[in-house]
Every structure is written in C-alpha cells, then in structure tokens.
Amino acid sequence: MLRPRTPIPRRPPCDCICLAKLARWAVGDGVMRMQPVVHYGFIPALIFLGMTQTEPRPSLAQLLSPV
C-alpha cells in the first residue's frame, strides 16, 4: 500500500538573495560616486606626477604661466 505524500516544508527566503542585492546596489553606488572624482581628478593627477617625477622640477608659477 502506498503512503500519502507529505508536503515538503518550505524554508524562509535565504538572506543570500538580500545580500546579493545589497552588494549590487553598493557597487553601483560606489561607481556612480567615483565617476566625477576620476573625471575631474585625472588631469591634476597627471600634472602632479609630472611635477614630482621629472628633473628639473618646475615651480608652480612656471607650470601655470602660458609662456
């Protein structure tokens, strides 16, 4: 004789899904905040590296003068 099927107990939703959505949001938010930093900081960073890594080191007045 066959026994009746017992229903499979359902588990509550896993916290992994919530953490994955939170991580996705955090990465996206970080990228959105870094875009203006990279956009406006790239050229000044190159100028700073050029000033500190070259010989003879130019002064700030020489760097900013048009001649």
Q: Where are the domains of the chain?
A: 15-64
Average pLDDT over residues 36-40: 92
Number of Cβ within 10 Å of residue 47's Cβ equals: 14
* Residues above pLDDT 70, as percent of the chain: 78
Which residues, in sequence order, are CB contacts of 60 under 8 Å at separation 6+?
A: 51
Given a cut of 90, whether residue 29 has pLDDT beyond it is yes
